[in-house]
Amino acid sequence: MLPAPQRLCNDLAALTILHIALAVLPLAIYLLAAWLTVRAVRVDPAARPLGASVAAQAAALVHAFLLFGAIHSPSGVVIAITDSASLVGWVIGATTAVAMAFMPLGALSSLLLALAGLLATLTGLLTGFTEIDTPHWEVTAHIALAALAAGWLTIAVTVVCLLAWQDGRLRSRRPLGSLALLPPMETMEKTLFRALGGGFVVLSFALVTGFFFVHDIIAQHLAHKVTFAVLAWLVFGVLLFGRVRYGWRGRKALKLTIAGFLFLAVAYFGAKFVLENVLGRHWG
């Protein structure tokens, strides 16, 4: 019979191997869907491959199952910063899987699926604070809405960076190369502002639901998080207003989208990391 310390090391090693295997599973399916998409659009840029769509949906389901197991506990919802990133990845993967069934996204869907797969590997990687002792609806709604907004706005910043790259190649008259597999720029712009519009609306609701449990912004250590979230909301709001009123696009859309995304990233990830992993505190 093995000594207790050695048995413990063996158990931990087995758990680590199991975690890696489970984390890699959604990544593998996401990458399969991405590969099937690229293979199809090389033949027909407007293709909507059924196999890729089914694989993407399967990846999102497996991802959701593993993520639920990682964040759910008898005492409430436990979300480490890595699980927050995985949750954003799931929003990206699920949204892309649904969109693929209705519109030809070309290689854009492949990039988004690969991003979702990479974020899925973070599931359960770290432990986190117990967010809530009793799952009050407003806290659960806030977490879900914040993740949804972050996911859609991550899609937006990905698209706007690709648009800038695509536009730069066209202006310099250099070959597009793999960028030729992306949808037309008009489709990319529509996708960008749909993601921005949806993300802005959901972020608005996330901010509203967040105020349900803000009783003392200083005592709950939420001042920085709220400040950066509101700044992100203002930047995206200005961008959307400028798009509707003045037709803003190109570099102005790029700069404002990236600025808003950076504010949101600090609010969503930065504040959580500093609070829980540096200061050892909690918003509750």
Residue spans of the domains in the chain: they are 4-278
Task: Specify the amino acid at residue 69.
Answer: G
> For residue 90, which of 131, 142, 29 has the smallest C-alpha distance?
29
147, 119 contact by CB (below 8 A): no
Structure pTM?
A: 0.86
Beta-carbon count within 10 A of 48 CB: 18
Q: Compute the distance between CA of residue 284 and CA of residue 282 in angstroms, rounded to an integer.
A: 6
132, 86 contact by CB (below 8 A): no
> For residue 143, which of 220, 219, 212 has the smallest C-alpha distance?
212
H/E segment holding residue 64: helix 50-71
Share of the chain above pLDDT 90, in %: 40
Average pLDDT, whole number, for the chain? 81
DSSP secondary structure letter of residue 269 = I
Grouping H, G, I as helix, E, B as strand and the rest as coil, residue 73 is strand
pLDDT tens string 157-189: 999 999 888 877 777 777 767 777 888 888 888
Q: Compute the distance between CA of residue 182 and CA of residue 203 in angstroms, rounded to an integer.
A: 28
What phi-psi label fits residue 194: left (phi over 0), alpha (psi between -120 and 50 degrees) or beta?
Answer: alpha
Q: Is the dihedral of CA 20, 23, 28, 29 positive or negative?
A: positive
What torsion do the CA atoms of 35, 36, 38, 41 make, to the nearest 10 degrees? 180
pLDDT tens string 231-274: 999 999 999 999 998 888 888 888 999 999 999 999 888 777 76
